[in-house]
Structure formats: C-alpha cells, structure tokens
Amino acid sequence: MKNTHTLTCLPMKFTLPVLNQLIVDIEITDNPYELKADDLFQMAARINKKRSFLFVSKILGKHIPIDPKIGLLTGALLANRYMETRMEIDTGLRERLLSFFSNHLDEYVDDPFINEQVNPVIIGFAETATALGHAFYQSFQKADFFHTTREQLLDIESVIMFEEEHSHATSHRCYVDESILNNKREIILVDDEMTTGKTNVNIIRSIQKRFPRKTYTVVSILDWRSDENIQLYRELEQELGITIYSVSLLKGQIQTSGTPDINETNAIETMNHSHTELSIIHLNEFFPNHLTKANYSSLSLEGEVADIPYLKETGRFGLSSQTNKLVNQSLKEMGQFLKGQRIGKRALCLGTGEFMYLPMKLASYMGDGISYQSTTRSPIYVENRERYGARFGLAFPHPEDKQINQFVYNIPPNEYDQIFVFFERAVSMENLQPMLNELMRVNIPDIKVVFFNGSCQDE
C-alpha cells in the first residue's frame, strides 16, 4: 500500500544561543511527524576544536536521561519513516507510535512490524548511535545488524575501517564476518544526527571498495546537511554508480556564528560527597546460558590486554533477526530480577560507552520511575542554566581503558534513590573506583554495579 500521508511543515526559523558568544541559527524545512524541536534536543558547547557545538538529544539516552521506552520508540519511529519514504508503504502505525512517543505510554511493545520481504543490512554508528541502530533494527522481521566500534580487538580483523573527522575519537572498526557485507542487499546506516554527512560518505566508500552494491540509505533523527553537503552525496552517487536515500524525523539547515568563551578546567561542577551503599551484581551467575560469549581480547591505548569475553548480543559482531526473541526474553528475565533489587521510587540505569542497547532494553523492564542514559567520550562544557544541554557533569578515566576519559552529564545532586551501572565485561575495583568516586558526589544512596560477563576478582 502506498503512503497516503502528505503532511508538510512550512520552514520555521529560530535562533538558539548556545553559550556566551556562540549562536546557532536553525531553519526547519521538513517535519513530517510534527515533532517539537524542543522535545528532541538541546544545545551545548563542545570542548573540541573541530566542532564547537553539539545537538544534545533528549530522546537518545546518551547525555540526557530518558524513559528507556522513548529510546526504543525512537528507533521504531525511524523504521516507520523509512517504510513511508524509502519503500512508499503506509504501515498503519504512524498515529499509534506517535501517541506512545508523545504520551510516554507504558503499553508499547517493540515487536517487529516490517515483513521479511525487506531484508537489509543495518549498521549503527558508535558510540552514540549503537542503541539507536539496534532499536531501529528491532522493527525488522528479517535483517542483519552490527554497530561500528572505537575499540581495538585482538585475534580478529576489522572487515572495514573509516574515519569520523569531527569526533573526539575518529577511527571506526567493524568486527563482523564478511558474509554480512558480501552481498548485494541494501545497507542502512543509522546515526543520531547528520551535520555534514561526511562520516556516511567515508563508510560508503569503504564498503563499496570491498563489497560493492547499488543501494544505501542513511537514517538519522536530525538532518542538518547544507546544500553543499547534499551535493557531495549526489557526486558520490555519480562516481560510484549507486543510489543514496536519506530518512530523518527532522530536517533543516543551520548556521553558526561566534565562539564559546569557555574554561575547560571549570567544566565539572563541584558537588558534595555522601555515604553510599555499594554492591556488585554478576548477571552471568544468575543467567549463565542466556547470552553468548564472543571470545576476543581487547587492547587498551596503553597496550594492556583485557581477555574477558565480549557479548555477541550487543551487535558488535553481527546479529540476525532469528536471535531477537530469545535475547529479548533473556533481557526481560534479567530486568525482572533487577526490578527486585530496587529501592525507592527513582532509579537511574547507566550504560557505559558503546554498551547502550542491552542496558536500555533491560531498563525498560525494571518498572516505573526508571531513567536511562550512558557515559560518553564527548567532553562538553558544563553550565547549570535552563535549556542548556549539559547542566551537570562528572569526569573519570574509563574503567576499561584508563587512557580514555569518560563523562556523565545531567545527573543533578539528590535526584535518584539508586543507580545501576552496567558493564558488558567485568572490571577491577581499582579501575572502577574513580568512576564510583564521581558518582558518589551526586548523593545517590545506593549504587549497584552490574557486570554482564566475567567476575571482579578484587571485590
């Protein structure tokens, strides 16, 4: 059935002051679901010479805490929009999905609604869009999925590599079996937002060099590409003999002016310490047969080797839709178990780095009063004022690689009764302590560290 919706949105212009002298002028040119921009993002100033501003998503679950169901629904909304624009098919789910999205209804279940005739290869970008790509993929009855990674693994070759020039960590690797890419199927690239779109150009070139095909689709929540950036896509299509489709929830163009006058040393606001109860939970002790180990070691920036296995279910090594029901059932059982570990009314589930989707999905099963977000590599200037995207901030060395700085934003003091911190692989208490020290500063009475795989030997 052809798409019968013809909603259009007249151009809307507004100006967002980011910080001090930094200004972003925005013109919205396409808003098919009539979403409010203020519900989708806030602005912040990046501590990054390559790009001075950041669209801080309010629906992604990265820098700002969200209802975990909203993160899952965002993937479904993008999948529905993909069907409307790319496939020209009306799924009949538009109003239902938007109602769940706008009203935060609990009844939503993310069952796949795109039938097996549509069988793409879906790739989510690390680190911010690993969960978004996975949630998008969950809408397909038949598809393959993997996400890129910034981590360097041993005993396995990256099948393709590409760069993200503006990012704080630029190199992307893809540790999947070549069979996932060695075909002619459509590839769908999923990211949270496109500003120039150059990262997509880079990965398309990398894929096309080894595994040529005719069709790519780029899916994002926000699309801010200029006419010049869009022309780069047209030129790439001509050069490689391919077609590139674009799908987004909000499209427009931006102009920036000025420079934020910031002092990096004052980026993290000081908070008071409080007494905190700490406990460690090893999920593999409770559910030893539910998740699959991927026996690869990783190499830190210092050259240290970590040999605790990864999990295949994250998508880093490739997933097929055949495994989704079993994985979702496992996460539901784990979520019910962790729900029984809760105290108080408000709890935060915190993913770490690229490990976003499994904790988000699990958090959706943990009852009312749950918020979800993740740590990040992105250094952002922190300022506690209304409508700014990073009002509070914590910083610490990554427990899995001490040479990588990690940050958590927008956790106000005294906001939560409890926090669950999720790691794909167990880490030592020595490496974990700097992160715990930072979390204790926001006066959370109870911290539970949850390891999906491996054990912490020095508890």
Q: Show pLDDT as tens, one digit a residue, over the chain (459 residues).
A: 444 444 444 468 777 767 767 888 999 999 999 999 999 999 998 887 777 789 999 999 999 999 999 999 999 999 999 999 999 999 999 999 999 998 876 677 788 999 999 999 999 999 999 999 999 999 999 999 999 999 989 889 999 988 765 444 468 899 999 999 999 999 999 999 999 999 999 999 999 999 999 999 999 999 999 999 999 999 999 999 999 999 999 999 998 887 766 655 444 454 555 688 999 999 988 888 788 999 998 988 877 888 899 999 999 999 999 889 889 999 999 999 999 999 999 999 999 999 999 999 999 999 999 999 999 999 999 999 888 999 999 999 999 999 999 999 999 999 999 999 999 999 999 999 999 999 999 999 999 999 999 876 555
- Cα–Cα distances in Å, from 335 out to 54, 59, 88, 132, 338? 32, 21, 37, 20, 5
Q: Quote the pLDDT of residue 380.
A: 93
Nearest in space to 61 (alpha carbons), one of 170, 114, 123, 134: 134
Alpha helices (H) in 352-428, listed in sequence order: 357-363
Buried/exposed code over 305-339 (b: 16+ C-beta within 10 A; e: otherwise): ebebbbbbbbbbbbbebeebeebbebbeebbebbb
Return d(Cα 109, Cα 324) in angstroms, integer.
Answer: 14
Q: Quote the pLDDT of residue 166.
A: 46
First to last CA, the chain: 58
- Amino acid 189 reads L
Q: Quote the pLDDT of residue 299.
A: 87
Task: Please answer whether residues 414 and 440 qualify as being in contact, where contact means their C-beta atoms are separated by less than 8 angstroms.
Answer: no
Nearest in space to 30 (alpha carbons), one of 15, 3, 6, 9: 9
Half-sphere exposure of 208 (CA within 13 A, CB side): 18
Q: Quote the pLDDT of residue 132.
A: 98
Nearest in space to 296 (alpha carbons), one of 144, 455, 456, 175: 175
CB contact set of 165 (below 8 Å; sequence gap of 6+): 50, 198, 199
- The domains located in the chain, with CATH, are 12-257 (3.40.50.2020), 264-453 (3.40.50)
- Pairing, β 22-30 against β 12-19: antiparallel
* Chain CA centroid to CA 36, Å: 21
What six digits make up the tokens of 413? 């003091």
Angle (CA) 76 77 79, round 5°: 60
Buried/exposed code over 191-229 (b: 16+ C-beta within 10 A; e: otherwise): bbbbbbbbbbbbbbebbbeebebeebbbbbbbbbbeeeb
Q: Quote the pLDDT of residue 390.
A: 95
Return d(Cα 148, Cα 409) in angstroms, integer.
Answer: 23
Return d(Cα 441, Cα 408) in angstroms, integer.
Answer: 12
Q: Which residue has the tokens 């715990």?
A: 436
Q: What interhelical angle do 68-85 and 130-137 show, nearest 10?
A: 60
